[in-house]
Amino acid sequence: MSSIERQSRLQNKLMQYQQRLDTDDEQSVLIEGRLTRMVGLTLEAVGFQVPIGSRCEIIGKGQKPIEAEVVGFSGETTFLMPTGDMRGLVPNAKVRPVRSDSQVPVGEAMLGRVVDGAGKPLDGKGPLRVHDRVPLHGEPVNPLARSPIRQHLDVGVQSINALLSIGRGQRMGLFAGSGVGKSVLLGMMTRFTEADVIVVGLIGERGREVKEFIEDILGEQGMARSVVVASPADHSPLMRLHGAMLATSIAEYFRDKGQQVLLLMDSLTRFAQAQREIALAIGEPPATKGYPPSVFSLLPQLVERAGNGAVDGGAITAIYTVLTEGDDQQDPVADAARAILDGHIVLSRQLAESGHYPAIDVEASISRVMPHIVSEEHLKQAQQFKQIYSTYRQNQDLISVGAYSKGSDPAIDESIAMFPALRQLLRQGMNEAVNWQQSDQRLKQVLELRNQLQNQQQNVAQTPMLMDGNTRRF
């Protein structure tokens, strides 16, 4: 081969190599880097440049590759967060970028299955045979393309149906501390709600609770139409983030097929805490009670993915649990969630300790879409119920110690007479389902009692009484 031919071949190879470097398709050349530092959960690598969210494999000496995700960079240093156990890593380990389009496999075959934050089966029923793929982080929805919330959703809990009506496509928050019946209420809504598909995201909770929720709360009937995404507290913060996003992506998939989806996520607080761990690990400064600003920008990105789809299409009705540390309703995550959700149901520790279940504090709870999904008569009755109940609760201490004298205030007298009926509407057994029509009828019956009491008071006021032998009217 002549020197001219060798030079020509070399030039062609150099041109082909340059084209591969310049292109963005699957044939792009991936350059390996090396691991330079590990502090806490953060890995630092140099020698390559990849976008945020890309996946990499870290290859140690004789160790199985460890998967990590790019979460930040500074100059030539790339910050990575592992998705699993980091044991076995060594200095200068190879870091190899992996082609990943951040899409996850989904399909009808996921119904009845339990998967982790990466979409891998946990139930031992074999691999998932699904072929469709959707973005893990979702696509922004044009707010003008969403259909409005105009139809109520029957959740099978009479106090919610009657007083805090939930609409199809609504995003509702369930605010509660620990040990007040949050999981039981979620289980009731899972079993009793009218929905085609139920997606449950168990994010950052105790591993023991995952199996208990599936076997004791969901049961075979509920599991048949459900997909459970479990990323317990012992998983890495990155996997907890991905678990919440995966659950939302699965719900979006079924919504876009025109189905009515119920998304239950327990909990939104653990999702925020996972993002806090990642952000603080890569050096983002804390802002409010240790939470960096990225937490409060990520929350609406997740929540806004739920809701109604196009007109006459499917809908995702989402229930997010929010843990209130020490029953503090002004917790930063609780405060931020309250602002971006379409309503909130607050569970009261005081009610739970008195044996009142579900321990819903109707005074502190609200459904912002209720005026648009119920009749004016229903809305008026719910407001009257809350007024009477609130009157009793505000004066409960005086009534309990006997400091209140009957007849001092007609409104308090009315609340005392009606309180047993009010409390009966708010209580419900965990295995008792009360549909929308029954809830509406029971609310009417409670307020009919009010009308009967008012009629009795009028009759008493008009009854002639004997005084000093003479009949006088008062």
Q: Give residue-wise pLDDT tens across range 434-454.
A: 999 999 999 999 999 888 887
- Looking at residue 295, its pLDDT comes to 94
| Section 246-251 average pLDDT | 96
Tokens standing for residue 145: 């393309």
Amino acid at 359: A
pTM, whole model, 2 decimals?
0.86
Q: Give residue-wise pLDDT tens across range 156-190.
A: 999 999 999 999 999 999 999 888 888 889 888 98
Q: Give residue-wise pLDDT tens across range 351-376.
A: 999 999 999 999 999 999 999 999 99
**Spatial separation of the C-alpha atoms in residues 105 and 422, rounded to whole Å:** 48
Q: Give residue-wise pLDDT tens across range 268-309.
A: 999 999 999 999 988 899 988 889 999 999 999 999 999 998
